[in-house]
Structure formats: structure tokens, C-alpha cells
Amino acid sequence: MTPQEEIIELRQQLEQHNYNYYVLSQPTISDFEFDAMLRRLQDLEKQYPEMYDPNSPTMRVGSDINQKFVQVNHRYPMLSLANTYNEAEIREWYDRVVKGLDGEKPQIVCELKFDGVSISLWYDDGMLTRAVTRGDGIQGDDVTANVRTIRSIPLKLQGDFPKILEMRGEVLMPWKVFDQLNHERELQEEQLFANPRNATSGTIKQQNSAIVAQRHLDAYLYYVLGEQLPATTHYENLMAAKHWGFKISEHIKLANSIDDIMAFITYWDEQRHQLPFATDGVVLKVNDIHQQQELGLTAKSPRWAIAFKFQAEKACTRLNSISYQVGRTGAITPVANLDPVLLAGTIVKRASLHNADIIKQLDLHIGDMVFVEKGGEIIPKITGVDISQRSFMAGPEVEFITRCPECGTPLVKDPAEAAHYCPNDQCPPQRIGKIIHFVSRKAMDIDGLGEETIQLMYQQKLLTNIADIYQLTAPQIANLERMGTKSAHNIIQAINDSKKVPFTRVLFAIGIRFVGQTVAKQVAMAMRNIDNIIAADKTTLMAIDGVGEKIANSIIHYCADPQNIEIINRLRQYGLQMQISENEQQQQSNKLSGMTFVISGVFSKHSREQYKAMIENNGGKNVASVSAKTTYILAGDNMGPAKLQKAQQLGVKIISEDDFLTMIDNNDNDE
């Protein structure tokens, strides 16, 4: 078998295993075997770039190259559904449908209403060619690169499918993934997502498809569009789509009467909390496509479909007290302690109050009977107070604390922010939080140092700050509770391995307020090393892309603290990376500054992703579509005809990969 034949075979096998796992939930090989096959395919594709295929299983890992979303007109308008919240309105809709069909009672398809982001998927000859968000219904954002990372969405169809096909559905984030994502954000003291829908929306619009891949989105498809569909009913077309490789919900019912419809709604209003994803209602559709066409559309929605939305679950319970948590940056978060109450399938005892402004708006008193709501929210929140139950026995009005609950330091509040802060860097929760942040996976990735272990080490004075990590010894760790010689050895090895972590992540790990992963990378690349950052003034920092006045002030404030500089110097002595590596520096330049590139075609010397990286590393920008602002089109073999035509119309210069590489080399000589 030639390498090219092996690439084709591996792609076919991986697509089948992917379908078995993510759509059928019936894996036939282990994760280890799948990963080994995927790595083999990645290696072969690097060796044979001429075999590039945008629909290869390797494309699902995403790219960290920034992109800009292009507006795309929908092939068919993406209308929204009319919403209803009660049984009477459902019956009225059904009666209108029957009347519109001259008294004929239609069969109704009952489906769950997924609480995510609507998506339109275009397939030509069985290949995914484009993924578009709803937008305004007429046009939406092209998010194809991000959608390719969603493993339950097929890149290639199987079986007997129409030549041109559009599938519509919902991209969503399962509860399990959502909980883990919010847990990680809480540890980093980043703002939590309110619900899976918000998290999905924020993810699908990421400019970095590698991040999208890491968030493990899912998708259910519920509507087939095209000129040559296999059946004349909505239900049969969905069942056909299942055979083509699409993930179709198993919770679909054909209803022959209004009683059948109401039974479906009642059942799922009670059982929806058992599902692994968020659902906020039920969608009803006339099954027969000819009847759909006969009923037609209004200006905003189809007459043959309607959405019934479940009421958000809420309960009334007593507010017993307010406690206050201190995060690693010193932010104070108030938490309401409640009488236990059953809500959305779980017992709720606590609810976040976010900040002092929320408490003031609610006019909370200790002892109040408060309304707690979950609905689509995973984090319970207090939405109001039952004033009618506030008696003379109610306690005092809740006043936000003025001193840190841990160290007693007077709190401070920036008028431009909602949160109060403890300014004492030596406050224990802050110190522990900074260490937890430092060792986290996205920072130094020191495996084995979990939250409980760090807290224990802090209590025993083995750790007081992040630099102390590099003074730990195996015997010290082995003597801790639930530790042993092997665990201690593994932790020491992970600590030593962390010394190879690149400077961009080190800068993120040290925990400067407002400096997240993206900003840390931008600052590190612009300033080159830690000493330049320490010496930088506000003007210099604000000249960096993504750095505003708030971030610049935060960096300057951090670097002005002698204790922080001492920690940085210790980390430097222990061997951590405090500058951009030579290899990274060689890749960085401003040679293409101000230039915008569109890449099209298949290349022989480097992959498309490698060329995109070269452009960005040399100060240029990658865009997806040709416009008057495009400087060059970097064209390989089989360049897209639409891009070629538009380039000729606009007079955009087309260059080959040899031209591009020569351009960089010539610029090298000019410097």
C-alpha cells in the first residue's frame, strides 16, 4: 500500500469510527487506538501535503490561527418559529392548521427544542462545504472552520444522499462539558457562563478553532432542505438523514391528535432534566411537506410549525445568611445560603449574588423568602423577594461587607467595576488561588498538584507562593497525607517538565490581573522578555494589540510590587522560560505588516495552515474572502474559481507559494 493509499484508508476508517462513537454511541475501538490512527494520519499528511483535504478527520482539532467571519447569504431564509407558553395557544395553533388544510387533520412531528445555536450545514456531493449561523435569517456568519471541529457533524456523508443538501440543526454544549468549563473558568476567576446556550454561542464565534475543538460541542440536526429529497414527509427525511451520518434525536414522536401532542409536552416538561443537554421546550411541525407548502409562511415564521417553551423552574425559600468568598485576584463574591429546596431536579442550598449592586437591587433582608430560579441556568440565582411574606420578624437589610472576611483588610472598589476587592496580596485565599492558577493545565500544567494538595502544602508552610513550588522535594511530598513515593516522584517530574513551558504561558501563569491567555501571548510576543515588560510604560503596553488602559495599568501595578519582582527573579533562577525562544523570535517579524492575504488552493511546499502561520508570524493578516482591501491572494493548485474571478474584477494580485517565500527571503536581505 502506498502512503497515499494509506492516507485515504485511514480517513475512511477514522470517519466510520467517529460516526460510531459520536452519533451511534457504539464505539468499536478504544480511544487509544483511535488516537494512534489519528496521529499516523497526521504524520502522513505532513509528509504528503499534496494530499490536503479540508474534510480530513485531522481537521477536527482546529487551528490557532485567527480568522474573521464572513457574512454569507442563506440559500433558504432561516426563519424563527413562533413561540407559545401555554396549552390553549397550542390548541389554537392546531385548529388554525386544520382550518388551513380545509378540515384535514395533519400528522404532527413532535421534537425537543434544543437550547443552543442554530446552524445551517451545506453539503455538495456529500462533502461539508459551509456552515452558517442564523444571523438575521437572511445572512449569517461563516463558521465552517469551527464547525469542522464538532465530531458529531459529518464532514463526508455516507449512503445514497442528494447531490446538493442543506441540513439545519442546533449546536449545543452538553451539561457535563458545561460544568467542567465553568469549573475551569471559576478557578481562573473568569466570568462564568450563565448557561450552556451562552457558552455555545461564545464558543462557536471563537476566532480560534483550536479552542472550539477543546470545548467538545455537540450537534443535533432536525431539518432537511434540498431539491431532491428522498421523501415527501419531514419525519422520513430525518430518518434518511440518520443513515447519511447525521445525529438525529431519538426523542421524536409522530402525533395524530392534539391529545398526543399534549402528552408529549407534559412528559418532557417533567423528564427534560434527565437529558444530557439543555432543552427549553418542544417544537411541533406538520409532517407532510405538501401540507407545509399549502400552509405557507408569515413574514417571520412558518405557519406549519410552532415552538412551545417550558416555564423556567423557580422556587421560594428562606434566605438564612450571606457568606463571602475571596478569589485569587482578591475579588469578593457574595453567596446566599438558603433553606434547601428542590429545583430542576437538584437540591439547591446556595445561590450566587455576584456583587453589591445585585444585593442592593434586590433589597435583601436576612430571613426573606426569596425566589430562586434555574431554568436554563446551571448556577441558581435569586430573582426576587416575596415582599408579602416579609414580616416584622425579618432580619436586617443585607449590607455588603467593608473588610475582607479572611484577613480583615478594608475592601476597595473601582468605580468602573462592580466587584469589591481585598487589596492584600498576602491574604491566604489569594495566595492559594494564585498557586492553583499557576499549576493549572492552561498555565504551567503541573499534574498532581490539585487544589486539596496545594491547600495542605500551604497549611504546612511548604508553599507560600508560586516560586516555592520549585523548592519542593520528593520526601516532603511523600510525607503528606494520601501521598507516597511514586506520587512524589511524578509531581517532581511534572515540576521539572514545567521549566520547558514557553514564556507566553509563563506570563499567563504568574497571574497578573486581567492578563488572560490571549493577552499574555500578545504581550509576550511584542515585548520579547520579562525584563522589557517590567520596564515598559503605559504607552508602550497600550501599543500592543489587545491591551487597553485597564490591562496596561494592571501590568504596571504588578511590576511595581517588589514582592512580585522577587518571585519572578526566583522563577528565573529555577530555570523557567522568561523570554521568547530563539525559534519563536526567528519566526516573528513585521515584514508583512499592513498586508492582508487570502489563501486558496492546494500547496506542495507547506500546508495551508503553515502558510497562515507564516503570514501572522510576519505581521500579516489572514482573511477568508477577497475584497478591495486584500493585498495578495496566495494561490496554489486548483484555486477556487469564485476567488479567481473576484480577484480579477478587483485587481488583487495573485502570487504563488514560490513568490511568497521569495518575498519573505528578500525582505530578510533588506533588513
* pLDDT tens-digit map of 486-541: 999 999 999 999 999 999 899 999 999 889 887 888 899 889 999 999 999 999 99
Instruction: Return mean pLDDT, the chain.
Output: 87
Could you report the per-residue pLDDT of 599-658, keeping only the tens digit for each? 887 787 787 767 877 887 787 888 777 888 899 999 887 676 667 878 888 889 999 988
Higher pLDDT, 342 or 146: 146
The confidence band for 593, taking pLDDT boundaries of 50, 70 and 90, is confident
Q: State how far the Cα of 527 lies from the Cα of 522, in Å rounded to an integer.
A: 9
505: three-class secondary structure by DSSP = helix
CA neighbours within 13 Å on the CB side: how many for 519?
A: 21
Burial (CB < 10 A; 0-12, 13-18, 19+), residue 501, is: middle
Q: What is the pLDDT of residue 623?
A: 79
For the segment 544-568, the average pLDDT, to the nearest whole number, is 92
Give the Cα separation of 205 and 200 in Å (integer).
9
**137-186 tens-digit pLDDT:** 888 889 999 999 999 999 999 999 999 999 999 999 998 898 888 888 77
- CATH superfamily to which 589-670 belongs: BRCT domain (3.40.50.10190)
164's grid cell: 446538493
Instruction: Give dist(CA 551, CA 76) in Å, integer.
Output: 44
Confidence of residue 374 (pLDDT cuts 50, 70, 90): confident
CATH number of 503-586: 1.10.150.20
130/446 Cα distance (integer angstroms): 39
Angle at CA of residue 438, ends 437 and 442, nearest 5°: 75
Say if 83-309 and 589-670 have the same CATH topology: no
Tell me the pTM: 0.53
Burial class of 580 by CB neighbour count within 10 A (0 to 12, 13 to 18, 19+): buried
Q: How confident is the model at residue 255 (pLDDT cuts 50, 70, 90)?
A: very high
Q: Are 615 and 622 in contact (CB under 8 A)?
A: yes
**DSSP class of residue 572?**
H
pLDDT value of position 19: 75
d(CA 563, CA 559): 9
Tell the burial category of 512 from Cβ atoms under 10 Å away from its Cβ (0-12, 13-18, 19+).
Answer: buried
Asked if residue 529 lies in contact with residue 580, where contact means CB atoms within 8 angstroms, the answer is yes
pLDDT at residue 27 greater than cutoff 70: no
Q: Is 113 a catalytic residue?
A: yes
Is the pLDDT at 670 greater than 50, yes or no? no
Residue-range domain boundaries for the chain: 3-61, 83-309, 312-422, 428-500, 503-586, 589-670
CATH class of 83-309: alpha beta
Question: Which contiguous run of DSSP H or E holds residue 599?
Answer: strand 596-600
Q: Name the percent of the chain in helix, strand, coil, to the closest 5.
A: 40, 20, 40
Q: Is the pLDDT of residue 669 over 50?
A: no
Task: Give domain 428-500's CATH architecture.
Answer: Orthogonal Bundle (1.10)
Q: Which of 181, 127, 114 is nearest to 153 (CA)?
A: 127
CB 620: neighbour CB atoms within 10 A?
Answer: 21
pLDDT at 546: 73
Alpha-carbon dihedral sign for residues 376, 379, 384, 386: positive
Catalytic residue among 46, 99, 113, 314: 113
Q: Which pLDDT does position 65 carry in this prediction?
A: 45
Listed in sequence order, the residues at least 6 apart from 258 whose beta carbon sits closer than 8 Å to its beta carbon are 90, 91, 94
pLDDT of residue 3: 87
Confidence of residue 280 (pLDDT cuts 50, 70, 90): confident
The letter for the amino acid at 132 is V
Quick one: pLDDT band at residue 205, thresholds 50, 70, 90? confident
| pLDDT, position 429 | 94
**pLDDT tier at 668 (50, 70, 90 boundaries)?**
very low
Residue 66 in grid coordinates? 485567527
Decide: 209 and 63 in contact? Cβ < 8 Å: yes
pLDDT band (50, 70, 90) for residue 66? very low
Residue 55 has pLDDT above 90, yes or no: no
* 537 Cβ contact list (under 8 Å, min separation 6): 556
CATH architecture, domain defined by 312-422: Beta Barrel (2.40)
Tell whether the model's pLDDT for residue 231 goes beyond 90: yes
| pLDDT higher than 60, residue 671 | no
How confident is residue 310, by pLDDT bands cut at 50, 70 and 90?
confident
Q: Averaged over 12-33, what is the pLDDT?
A: 72
In terms of DSSP H, where are the helices of 196-233? 196-204, 209-214
Q: E-assigned strands of 207-304? A: 218-225, 253-255, 279-286
Q: Report the CATH number of the 3-61 domain.
A: 1.10.287.610
Are 515 and 508 in contact, with CB atoms under 8 Å apart?
Answer: yes
CA Rg value for the chain: 29
The three-state (H, E, C) secondary structure of 46-97, written as one string = HHCHHHCCCCCHHHHHCCCCCCCCCEEECCCCCCCCCEECCHHHHHHHHHHH
